[in-house]
Chain A
Amino acid sequence: MTVRSMTVRSAILVLLLGRAAAAQDIPEFHKLRTPVSPAFQILGIAPAHVERPTTPATFAASVLQKAQDFSGVLPKSVAVEVAPFWLQPHPGMTFTEYQGQGWKSLYRNFTVSLATTDSVGDGGAPPDGNPDWRRLGFGMRTTLLPGSRGVTPTCVREISAAATAHTTAIGALVARAIAAGRLSRSNSAAIEAFQNADSTRAEARASLSRWQQDLLSPEGVGRCTADLSARRGAAMDVAVAAAATFPEGRATSGEISSVGVWITPAILGDRFSNIAVLRLAWHDLDSTTSRNTFDAGLRSVYAWDRYATSLELVNRLERRSGETSDFIRIALNFDVKIAGDTWLNVALGKDFDARQPQSLLALLGFQWQLGDRSVHPDK
């Protein structure tokens, strides 16, 4: 996600080309992938706060809260994402077993997202300023091919080794206290208090090297989490979503307005990756001007050291009022790491445009963005 961003559009190319470039954004490159939360994508929203209940209790509390808030009109800013498999703990599932999950990723990575909004998307106001006008999005996503994540990545081995050293120190203190009669072997509350005592924690921490302490810090573990998110090899995600419009905000008066399907097969490597996308969408189904689109595209990414570049090509077939149009979008993206987590992103391309198909120069744009790296092999 972009932390700090500064965008200067068109300006440089306006100067270079000596003409008024179209003042439009180059679409976000990350959209050439299966959306993480398809319900948000189909509504065209990016909620600032998303509820992600991780236990049945928090899920039930979330549902009850929504039910209490429901006063005949759908709430206007719900954003919930649930991974049903992870609502329950799985004490018998080891790291190694999960890494080689194969087809089981189908249900383990299954997520459901739900959102409501009172905007038409991208912050637009509802029609006629109707305060009860609502849209609701519902989506599902899963992984058909999980790719290869390695049996036990290096960072997991290192963190586990540090955890072993840490737990050995705690275990030794507890075992000695029990043997010396300072702790009762059957008093779990006393043993728990002993292991939670500051002195025990400090002694256990002191048994670790500075490097191991860093590995076990939230920042150190977070780096490993990021590594684990990166997949390699053959991977494929799929998502479906639907949006409905509720002109009066009542649950009984809705009409399906949009439906979308995303499929993204990919071959992911450490440096070079190829990601394809198949995207079907039906828009404005609740109006007389409905249209549908079929996108087929490919994105190639090459990343090395402080640099990354990608080339994206998407062909769109759009059918509207019995007529079919054919468009191309092409984009080149280049990232350079400046310092820390700050990246300079440069994007150059041509977007789909129903009015001016294949008009590359007229739609040239330039985007300069300071923020997180935008080119990721698997995103």
Chain B
Amino acid sequence: MPTVTHLYHVISGQRVVVDAHIGDAQAGGHAIFLGTELRAQGELSLTGVDLGAAEDVAGQVLVVSSTAVDVRPETDHVSVEVVLNGGVPSPMPITQAADTPPNGTVNFLTVVTFVGDAQ
């Protein structure tokens, strides 16, 4: 159950947008929280989830929880890619990968603290 934490500098006037993908052609799903508010959830790939203006999200915590499921007969690799937009750099991909026993599940957490211009 891997976890990564990041700081992400957002740029005033920009919209902060996040994508999340289950990698390695596996199955799975995501839930995206800003603070404690569930902003989006969905299967396999979530794209273009608008978190709001940079000024509004600065100082808040983004939690992207993703569960990848090893359905592929070809491999036991599972991975997740979270892509942040609206800050520096943009896009900023954050990837995590793991190996699981055949037909196992792995939960990945990506925790991002947004930092504004003035912070």
Contact = CB atoms under 8 A, between A and B. Distances in A.
Interface of A: 54-55, 83, 86, 89-99, 108-109, 152, 155-157, 159-168, 170-172, 174-176, 178-179, 185-189, 191-192, 195-196, 216, 218-219, 221-222, 224-225, 228-229
A218 B101 contact: yes
A186 B42 CA distance: 26
A176 to B, nearest CB: 5
Contact of A167 (B29, B35, B81): B29
A155 B26 CA distance: 12
Nearest to A215: B69
Interface in B66-96: 66-77, 79-81, 93, 95-96
A222 B102 contact: yes
A218 B75 CA distance: 15
Contacts of A170: 31, 65, 67, 107, 109
B55 interface: no
B36 A94 contact: no
Given A160-B29, A161-B29, A90 B63 contact: no
Given A161-B29, A168-B65, A195-B1, A92 B23 contact: yes
Given A166-B67, A174-B65, A191-B111, A93 B25 contact: yes
Contact of A95 (B7, B44, B76, B113): B44
Given A185-B5, A185-B111, A92 B25 contact: no
Contacts of B68: 163
Interface hub of B5, B80, B97 (most chain A Cβ within 10 A): B5
A219 B71 CA distance: 11
Contact of B77 (A54, A189, A222): A54
A179 B37 CA distance: 10
Contacts of A91: 21, 23-24, 79-81, 95-97
Contacts of A97: 25
A317 B79 CA distance: 50
A228 B71 contact: yes
B44 A92 contact: no
B71 A196 contact: no
B111 to A, nearest CB: 6
A34 to B, nearest CB: 16
A98 B77 contact: no
B113 A98 contact: no
A244 B2 CA distance: 46
B29 A188 contact: no
B105 A216 contact: yes
B43 A164 contact: yes
A89 B97 contact: yes
Given A172-B36, A174-B109, 5 more contacts: A156-B71, A163-B43, A168-B41, A171-B38, A228-B73
B9 interface: no
Given A174-B109, A191-B5, A196-B1, A89 B24 contact: yes
B119 interface: no
A87 to B, nearest CB: 9
A219 B69 CA distance: 12
Contacts of A55: 99
Contacts of A216: 69, 105
B33 A218 contact: no
A179 B60 CA distance: 10
B52 interface: no
B107 A185 contact: no
Given A157-B43, A191-B5, A167 B24 contact: no
A161 B31 contact: no
Nearest to B45: A94
26 contacts: A54-B77, A89-B23, A90-B25, A91-B23, A94-B25, A95-B25, A152-B44, A156-B27, A159-B28, A160-B28, A160-B43, A166-B105, A166-B107, A167-B28, A170-B67, A171-B109, A172-B31, A175-B35, A179-B35, A185-B113, A192-B2, A195-B107, A218-B101, A221-B104, A225-B70, A228-B71
Contacts of B65: 167-168, 170-171, 174
Contacts of B74: 83, 86, 108-109
